[in-house]
């Protein structure tokens, strides 16, 4: 087999072509082929290559076990005198980074093609192993999908629990929740194992996965990234929350682009992701939001399990964590956090559940809004007037509540099928909602300050609800009551296992 193939673009190059070709034909390295070689080298039509260039490149690549070689160049003026082309270090790294990312992306697509071909052959002869990796059970969105795989004879689902990378490094002391994660699933008699033991992440390979679902793209060790996992499994993702704001982080090159499939919550968002990266059209598909499948369940709920005084008006207060300027900037806690707590104390006809975002404690401390002692006292105060709820299985409190107060984004849509009032606390500096978000937010009561909030709050307590019909109309955007999202996703995957395709 020839060692190096050369490609040269040819367009309007009459002046330089002879010199370029002569420099290629007179190389000291003799393993060059203008067809298919072990390596490919790209040469511009106006380049002249030093006679020993290929030999040096090939030897360097082989000796160092490289996949890519990258170098600077020089140019000649009309008098044939060489002059160096200066290249700033940031431009070098930018070019090299782009080259590496393109190479990795091509390799990942090839990995998925090979894995899919393997599964096409094995699908009917054995159960496929489906892994769900979880580092924060409060963001668990796959319950119905896990159950759908579990009841299908072709799949064997398993939950793997670990911790965020910042927790592993000691940077985040508020979310060291490994045992809590494990017990959350074990208490529901689900198949669960540790992916983190003795302060080390366990390679997914040990569990022989065919398909891996990620809970979130954040805080992953390198060996859990889709580009690495693609070597032995198909990778998938459903976002843990509804995507209602314009945020490029929702389709990141280093995570979402490398997934085999990104099961998006809506077609609206796939269009938006395509504006960030054209590949989103290829690996994104929408079958709704599997978290919402819980609304198909009509089992009776024990109110006393969740509410301190279930005979009273039941209210949820759910604050968001995004205080930082480089985030969504949704958080309004600075303005109303203590105000709402005092309001709860002043209304004995109500009972409350305080449902903060999983990162809320960490964000309060990191942004110096409260000390650790003040945070603990605030949480204790809520336990006095009601209850604090931080678990992932929170839809029973949604279903049994009377209304929701929040500055979160996803909860606006997740709560909508209850058809009960939503007070949306507005931060004037918040990021802009996308089309999907605007359709949902229309049916919420928006308040921009404590005076507006108090008026809306007392109106709802008095059964003055002017948004009910709008909520009924908007529900169709977040849930399809004809068929569960999880059924559609499993059906899609089974179809891909049964029918061989390119990707």
- 371 neighbors 365 (Cβ within 8 angstroms): yes
- Per residue in 465-488, pLDDT (tens digit) is 999 999 999 999 898 889 999 999
Contacts of 141 (CB under 8 A, 6+ apart): 215, 238, 239, 240, 241, 289, 290, 291
**How many whole angstroms separate alpha carbon 428 and alpha carbon 38?**
57
**How many whole angstroms separate alpha carbon 61 and alpha carbon 4?**
12
CATH classification of 122-288+483-498 is 3.40.50.2000, yes or no?
yes
Query: Domain boundaries in the chain?
Result: 4-86, 122-288+483-498, 295-477
pTM of the complete model? 0.75
Judged on CB neighbours under 10 Å (0-12, 13-18, 19+), 182 is buried
Topology match between the domains 122-288+483-498 and 295-477: yes
**How many whole angstroms separate alpha carbon 133 and alpha carbon 165?**
13
Looking at residue 44, its pLDDT comes to 66
Q: What is the CATH number of domain 295-477?
A: 3.40.50.2000
Fold of the CATH domain 4-86:
Spore Coat Polysaccharide Biosynthesis Protein SpsA; Chain A (3.90.550)
Q: Which among 360, 453, 331, 392 has a CA at the least distance from the CA of 140?
A: 392
**How many whole angstroms separate alpha carbon 277 and alpha carbon 38?**
30
Digit-by-digit pLDDT tens for the chain (503 residues) are 456 777 666 666 566 677 777 777 777 877 766 565 666 676 766 667 777 877 887 887 777 777 666 665 555 555 454 444 444 445 555 655 666 667 788 889 999 999 999 999 999 899 999 999 999 998 999 999 999 999 999 999 999 999 999 999 988 888 888 999 999 999 999 999 999 999 999 999 999 999 999 999 999 999 999 999 999 999 999 999 888 888 888 888 789 999 999 999 999 999 999 999 989 999 999 999 999 999 998 888 999 999 999 999 999 999 999 999 888 899 999 999 999 999 999 999 999 999 999 899 999 999 999 999 999 999 999 999 999 999 878 999 999 999 999 999 899 999 999 999 999 999 999 988 888 899 999 999 999 999 999 999 999 999 999 999 999 999 998 988 899 999 999 999 999 998 866 55
Q: Which among 491, 440, 187, 143 has a CA at the least distance from the CA of 296?
A: 143
- 112 neighbors 234 (Cβ within 8 angstroms): yes
- 17 neighbors 10 (Cβ within 8 angstroms): yes
Q: Which among 365, 51, 410, 96 has a CA at the least distance from the CA of 247?
A: 410
First to last CA, the chain: 28
**How many whole angstroms separate alpha carbon 143 and alpha carbon 240?**
11
**How many whole angstroms separate alpha carbon 477 and alpha carbon 468?**
16
**How many whole angstroms separate alpha carbon 55 and alpha carbon 343?**
77
Helices (H) and strands (E) in the chain, counts: 18, 20
Considering the chain, what percentage of its residues have pLDDT values greater than 90? Answer: 65
């Amino acid at each position: 087999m020839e060692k190096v193939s050369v490609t040269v673009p040819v367009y309007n190059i009459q002046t330089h072509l002879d010199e370029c070709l002569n420099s290629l034909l007179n190389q000291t390295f003799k393993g060059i082929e203008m067809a298919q070689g072990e390596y490919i080298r790209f040469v511009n039509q106006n380049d002249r290559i030093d006679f020993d260039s290929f030999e040096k490149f090939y030897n360097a690549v082989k000796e160092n076990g490289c996949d890519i070689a990258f170098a600077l160049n020089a140019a000649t003026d009309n008098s044939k005198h060489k002059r160096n082309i200066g290249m700033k270090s940031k431009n070098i790294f930018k070019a090299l980074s782009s080259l590496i990312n393109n190479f990795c992306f091509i390799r990942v697509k090839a990995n998925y093609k090979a894995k899919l071909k393997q599964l096409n052959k094995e699908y009917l002869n054995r159960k496929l192993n489906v892994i769900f990796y979880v580092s924060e059970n409060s963001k668990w969105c796959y319950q119905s999908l896990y159950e759908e795989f579990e009841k299908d004879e072709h799949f064997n689902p398993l939950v793997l629990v670990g911790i965020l990378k910042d927790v592993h490094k000691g940077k985040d002391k508020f979310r060291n929740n490994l045992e809590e994660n494990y017990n959350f699933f074990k208490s529901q008699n689900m198949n669960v194992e540790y992916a983190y033991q003795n302060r080390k992440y366990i390679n997914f390979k040990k569990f022989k996965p065919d398909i891996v679902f990620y809970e979130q793209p954040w805080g992953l060790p390198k060996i859990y990234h889709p580009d690495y996992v693609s070597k032995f499994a198909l990778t998938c993702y459903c976002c843990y929350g509804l995507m209602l704001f314009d945020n490029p982080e929702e389709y990141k090159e280093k995570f979402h682009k490398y997934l085999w499939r990104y099961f998006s919550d809506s077609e609206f968002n796939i269009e938006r992701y395509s504006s960030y990266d054209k590949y989103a059209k290829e690996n994104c598909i929408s079958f709704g939001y599997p978290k919402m499948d819980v609304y198909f369940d009509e089992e009776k709920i024990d109110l006393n399990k969740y509410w301190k005084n279930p005979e009273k008006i039941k209210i949820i207060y759910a604050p968001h964590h995004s205080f930082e300027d480089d985030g969504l900037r949704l958080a309004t806690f600075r303005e109303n956090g203590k105000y709402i707590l005092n309001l709860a104390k002043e209304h004995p006809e109500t009972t409350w559940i305080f449902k903060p975002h999983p990162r809320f404690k960490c964000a309060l401390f990191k942004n110096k809004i409260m000390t650790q002692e003040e945070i603990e006292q605030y949480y204790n105060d809520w336990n006095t007037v009601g209850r604090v709820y931080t678990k992932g299985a929170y839809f029973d409190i949604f279903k049994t509540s009377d209304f929701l107060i929040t500055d979160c984004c996803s909860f606006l849509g997740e709560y909508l099928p209850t058809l009960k009032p939503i007070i949306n606390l507005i931060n004037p500096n918040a990021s802009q909602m996308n089309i999907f978000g605007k359709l949902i937010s229309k049916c919420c009561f928006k308040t921009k300050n404590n005076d507006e909030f108090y008026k809306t709050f007392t109106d709802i307590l008095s059964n003055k609800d002017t948004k009910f019909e709008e909520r009924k109309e908007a529900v169709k955007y977040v849930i399809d009551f004809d068929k569960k999202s999880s059924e559609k996703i499993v059906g899609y995957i089974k179809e891909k296992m049964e029918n061989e395709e390119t990707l």
